[in-house]
Amino acid sequence: MGMAESILLTIATAATPLLIAAIGELVVERSGVLNLGVEGMMVMGAVCGFVAAALTGSPWLGVLCGILAGALFSLPFAFLTLNIATNQVATGLSLTLLGLGLSSMIGESFVGSPGVRLPNLFIPGLTELPLVGRLLFGQDPIFYLSILLVFAVTWFLFKTRTGLTLRSVGDNHASAHALGIPVIGYRYGAVLFGGACAGLAGAQLSLVYTPQWVENMTAGRGWIALALVVFASWRPLRVLAGAYLFGAVTIGQLHAQALGLGIPSQLLSSLPYLATIVVLVLISRNRRLTMINTPASLGRAFVPDR
């Protein structure tokens, strides 16, 4: 395997959890809900996925448990923000803090334990093709699922009646409610989907990216996923491009460290987060573009008339 193929493979693996978490959060925000608990749901998916796989020996059960953990962990956020109308920002931050602490407690006895890796696909004849073989036909199943999710969410949001209704809830929840649309129900579905995606992204980290459990192994990826949604101006295909851009930055700093360029390793490690800040600053300068695409009811609590 050549150097170029190796770099492309690692970029794809690094971009996958960002893409899955961001596409889930995009659906949540399109419904008008801002969930800052992505990092907490991701880390819960990572620990539950790893523990389930380690105890059963099945990485597929680990993936399933990671998805369920993320979805279940999103339920308290949904109940508090949708039923009790608590502040979405404060509730999401609390969810992240809870997830980081709870995952450390659950995974304490599994630190250093051997992981169970989700196997890559192998298609005779295709996987062995030079350069593109392993990249297109020899990845792990979660990679293919992440690409499928992007196109499925694009179709759902812009080509289906349910997707149009979800977007209308995010743009004007009062009008949607006046038309008889169950605003709370749609937002519950969106939050659960976002939680399941975050859990799957976490499971990818502990079962594919680095098959082991390390405390706080998400390392801020949930925050990058949140920034990706804004970077993509709430468009799924732009999330795909953004995830691979940030994946390339992440892998680039690792290769730069390996080459010994004389740049402090701490500075190189911070590059993905510096890139996130730069992108957000550049986007915020174009207020017209941001306002056009931002769901109008984003972050606003909905209290139905009684």
- Per-residue pLDDT reduced to its tens digit, 193-230: 999 999 999 999 999 999 999 999 998 899 999 989 98
b/e map of 67-104 (b: 16 or more CB within 10 Å)?
A: bbbbbbbbeebbebbbeeeeebeebbebbbebbbeebe
Q: Label residue 128 by pLDDT band (50, 70, 90).
A: confident
Of the candidates 292, 219, 175, 222, the residue with the CA atom closest to the CA atom of residue 20: 222
Residue 114 has a pLDDT of 85
Lowest mean pLDDT segment, chosen from 4-18, 30-44, 52-66, 93-107:
4-18
In this prediction, what percent of the chain has a pLDDT beyond 70? 90
What distance in Å separates the CA atoms of residue 44 and residue 202, rounded to the nearest whole number?
7
Q: Give, in words, the CATH class of 3-293.
A: mainly alpha
Rounded CA-CA distance 115/85 in Å is: 40
The predicted pLDDT at position 272 comes to 72
74 against 2, higher pLDDT: 74
SS3 state at 150: helix
End-to-end C-alpha distance for the chain, whole angstroms: 65
Mean pLDDT, residues 126-133 taken together: 74
Give residue 141's pLDDT.
Answer: 93
Q: Tell me if 99 sits within 8 A of 37, measured CB to CB.
A: yes
Cα atoms found within 13 Å of the Cα of residue 122, Cβ hemisphere only: 4
pLDDT at 289 > cutoff 70: no
3-state helix, strand and coil shares in percent for the chain, rounded to the nearest 5 = 75, 0, 25
Residues with Cβ within 8 Å of 233's Cβ and at least 6 positions away in sequence, in order, are 283, 289, 290, 293, 294
Q: What is the mean pLDDT of residues 273-284?
A: 74
Separation of alpha carbons 224 and 205, rounded Å? 15
- Residue among 144, 147, 140, 135 nearest 236 (CA): 147
Domain ranges of the chain: 3-293
Give the span between the Cα atoms of 90 and 109, in whole angstroms.
31
> Residues 136-180: pLDDT tens digits?
888 899 999 999 999 999 999 999 999 999 999 999 999 999 999
State how far the Cα of 165 lies from the Cα of 2, in Å rounded to an integer.
Answer: 48
